[in-house]
């Protein structure tokens, strides 16, 4: 029998708001080990009306991000809920930027390849400066909702949070 009785752990390639340890800590109650990584054959887009990015396959392009290691099944479930229906979890091969080793990881790829709201490049440094603080507050709201029996999808939490924010 293979080690299927052992708890599964996963690698997850992150490239947007989850590059921020503060966001990961709110979601998972810890900061897992991570390493810089490169995903070839994809592009990181900005999304009109959203503060987080999307990735889609694009030839001759690449996305710099990081791989979170040792993600447990319950943690992967939390990330699935957080990424919600806008993304689909896909298995990808990434290159470690520290050793150039190739490794398998999960990545959350935008569901709508023809989305007219995708444009340009998403900038993590700008996101940290402009949106990180409010995004962390929204993420705290999401994790509190997740505890409830009738929790809202993350997109609904995001939209209600940022609508409130706009009214202030």
Nearest in space to 76 (alpha carbons), one of 141, 134, 149, 18: 18
**What is the reported pLDDT for 100?**
77
**What is the reported pLDDT for 160?**
67
Q: Inter-axis angle of helices 73-83 and 132-146, to 10 degrees?
A: 120
Contact 154, 82 (CB under 8 A): yes
**What is the reported pLDDT for 162?**
66
Mapped onto helix, strand or coil, the DSSP state of residue 53 is: coil
Residue tagged active-site, from 81, 83, 125, 144 = 83
**What is the reported pLDDT for 139?**
94
Radius of gyration for the chain, computed over Cα atoms and rounded to the nearest angstrom: 16
The DSSP letter of residue 19 is: G
d(CA 115, CA 48): 10
**What is the reported pLDDT for 144?**
87
Q: What is the pLDDT tens value at each position of the chain, 168 positions in all?
A: 344 445 689 999 999 999 999 999 999 999 999 999 999 999 999 999 999 999 999 999 999 999 999 999 999 999 999 998 899 999 999 999 988 799 999 999 999 999 999 999 999 999 999 999 999 999 998 898 887 766 556 666 667 666 654 444
Contacts 24+ apart (CB under 8 A), 162-165: 162/51, 162/134, 162/138, 165/134
Please indicate whether residue 83 is annotated as part of the active site.
Answer: yes
**What is the reported pLDDT for 147?**
78
Mapped onto helix, strand or coil, the DSSP state of residue 132 is: helix
């Amino acid at each position: 029998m293979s080690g299927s009785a052992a708890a599964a752990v996963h690698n997850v390639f992150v490239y947007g708001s989850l590059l921020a340890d503060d966001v990961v800590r709110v979601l998972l109650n810890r900061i897992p080990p991570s390493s810089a990584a490169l995903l070839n054959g994809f592009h990181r887009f900005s999304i009109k009306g959203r503060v987080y990015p999307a990735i889609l396959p694009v030839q001759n392009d690449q996305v710099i991000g990081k791989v979170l290691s040792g993600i447990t099944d319950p943690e992967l479930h939390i990330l699935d809920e957080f990424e919600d229906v806008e993304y689909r979890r896909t298995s990808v091969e990434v290159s470690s930027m520290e050793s150039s080793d190739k490794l398998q990881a999960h990545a959350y790829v935008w569901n709508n390849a023809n989305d007219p709201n995708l444009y340009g490049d998403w900038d993590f440094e700008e996101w940290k400066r402009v949106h990180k603080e409010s995004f962390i507050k929204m993420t705290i709201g999401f994790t509190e909702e997740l505890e409830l029996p009738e929790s809202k999808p993350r997109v609904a939490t995001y939209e209600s949070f940022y609508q409130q924010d706009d009214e202030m």
